[in-house]
Structure 1
């Protein structure tokens, strides 16, 4: 029996929308709009590649979450999962993941932060490779990332670093943007916007 590795991008591939904005809007409804408007010029510049999009993302998340403990963040993430799972995940993706034989391995590989994806990965029994948040010695979020933004070439780098690929006969990758191209190139089969 062939051993297969399944690699799934998260936002827009498994989900119907971008979860960065959705999670922050859901968790910080009272301050979200004013903070979002404040960051609009930076988002625009990042879109035009004038500034590093990863740094803008880091600053935006820090605006809401810097100083929160890991247990406070886990509660927010679990609450987001509990209230949004059924409407957020593409039904076809849900069916597909649940049909994968336990003999094979499956991972979410995402540029999003590990905070809010963790409950989804745990629900599906999947490994998680994502942009990682940095916590200090008291387990408080510093507002910084502990890893590079897990997108484009960094997705491939992290996959190769964290998974022994010699173990698999086939690598199946699922994605929906240019950010997944490096992951597609290392796979034996790639699926673009398979579930939407």
Structure 2
């Protein structure tokens, strides 16, 4: 079926999956011991974030810098491919797969809009004809710098990125799927919304 006037926008972490994928990905690439060592060093920032005294994107940069600064982007993508094959399938909500397959059968154009990096999502998402709008990491000379490129794809930035990527006037049917307050700006663009739908 031709995919023309139907659009579905999905959050990924916690909506399609049973929880966050960034921390499991760090543990997968660095090992649990190295993850714990880094988490201890980052704990003051984690505590500040937990009491809303430190922004989400800054904490994310701290994690990216700690665990991935200096890594070749090609190595990150290789880890992402393996994580998507070995770990991610066990984190996917079965009801989400049912809904995704149904939307594909109805001719929906599918997008994942996520604050995570696409390296460990795209290899899985391509199996379902998803396109991805995600947080980008800065890369110089093939190496990860530890900084976010542009803005973290969360909250209002999700809405902004969708509007840059798509002309929503071209879609008669727009359905959105999310599970946190950070998805509400994205869901505001949709004619039909489903909040925590696969639990």
TM-score in same-fold range (> 0.5)? yes
Alignment partner, residue 47 of structure 1: 50
Structure 2 counterpart of 1:23: 25
CA shift for structure 1 position 115: 2.4
Please show how residues 41-190 of structure 1 align to structure 2 within 5 Å.
41-101=44-104, 103-136=107-140, 138-190=141-193
Counterpart in 1 of 2:9?
Answer: 7
Query: Normalising by the residue count of structure 2, what TM-score does the alignment of the two structures yield?
Result: 0.93
For 1:140 and 1:86, how far apart are their aligned partners in 2?
28
Q: Are the equivalent residues in 2 in contact too, given 1:107–1:129 (CA < 8 A)?
A: yes
Query: C-alpha displacement at 1:184, in angstroms?
Result: 1.3
1:52, distance to aligned residue in structure 2 (A): 1.6
Q: How far apart, CA to CA, are the structure 1 residues paired with 2:125 and 2:186?
A: 19
Deviation of the 1:40 alpha carbon:
1.9
Query: 1:111 Cα shift?
Result: 1.1
Shift of 1:134: 1.1
1:123 Cα deviation (Å)? 2.3
| Partners of 1:26 and 1:68 in 2: CA distance | 15
What's the CA shift for 1:101? 3.0
How far apart are 1:27 and its partner, in Å?
1.4
Q: Secondary structure at the match of 1:101?
A: helix
Q: Distance in 2 between matches of 1:101 and 1:56?
A: 36
| CA–CA separation in structure 1 for the residues paired with 2:13 and 2:145 | 24
1:193 equivalent in structure 2: 196
Tell whether the 8 Å contact from 2:7 to 2:174 is kept in structure 1 after alignment. Answer: yes
| 1:83–1:101 CA distance, 2 compared to 1 (3 A) | closer
Partners in 2 of 1:190 and 1:71 — Cα distance? 36
After TM superposition, the runs of 4+ consecutive aligned structure 1 residues lying more than 3 A away are: none
Larger mean CA deviation between 108-117 and 176-185 belongs to: 108-117
Tell me, in whole angstroms, the C-alpha distance in 2 between the residues paired with 1:38 and 1:172.
41
SS in 1 for 2:15: coil
Q: Is the 8 A contact 2:174 2:192 kept in 1?
A: yes
